[in-house]
Amino acid sequence: MNKLFYIIYNSYYKNGAFKDDIPSLTVGGIFVVFFYSVFKFFLILIEWFNPIYSTMKLGKTFVYISIGLYGILVYFLFYHKRRYRFIYERYKNDKFLNSKLAKRIGFFFVILMILSPIMIVAVKTKITYGWWIKIK
């Protein structure tokens, strides 16, 4: 997880040459959405394989609380005692993590995980009803 954080963080930090942005805040937001998307993906899978959970709907309060909890998780994983600086210093000389290939792989993985709830719902709808997601 630290290596993935480094890849995303360094893409925004640009070795200290960032402009008009707060890289640590931007990457923190990305990881909050990342963790929430993974959580939502597993909730959809559980609902799919155990239909009794399909009657349970998540309220806005639960969603806000879970996003807050993921914010706290991201804080303690990457920001408590300026840990993001430690991660940056540890990996800044790693040739692979600074390569374009690692950057593409890292962003692909993060984007894939963020979009995974949408993709699993589309697959579930196709299997269940025979069509992809309908837009009215």
pLDDT at residue number 32: 94
pLDDT at residue number 111: 96
Mean pLDDT of 64-88: 90
pLDDT at residue number 136: 63
pLDDT digits (tens, 9 = 90+) for 11-58: 877 766 676 677 788 889 999 999 999 999 998 888 888 877 766 777
Number of domains in the chain: 1
Domain that holds residue 40: 2-129
Answer whether residue 134 is part of any domain.
no
Cα-based distances in Å from 5 to 28, 31, 86, 110, 114: 9, 8, 12, 10, 15
Q: How far apart are CA 60 and CA 32, in angstroms?
A: 17
Answer whether residue 83 is part of any domain.
yes
Q: How far apart are CA 112 and CA 34, in angstroms?
A: 9
* pTM metric for this prediction: 0.83
pLDDT digits (tens, 9 = 90+) for 89-118: 898 888 998 899 999 999 999 999 999 999
Answer whether residue 135 is part of any domain.
no
Other Cβ atoms closer than 10 A to 91: 18
Answer whether residue 136 is part of any domain.
no
* Two structure tokens written together for 84: 């993001």
Burial label for 34, CB within 10 Å (0-12, 13-18, 19+), is buried
pLDDT at residue number 82: 87
Tell me the one-letter amino acid at 40.
K
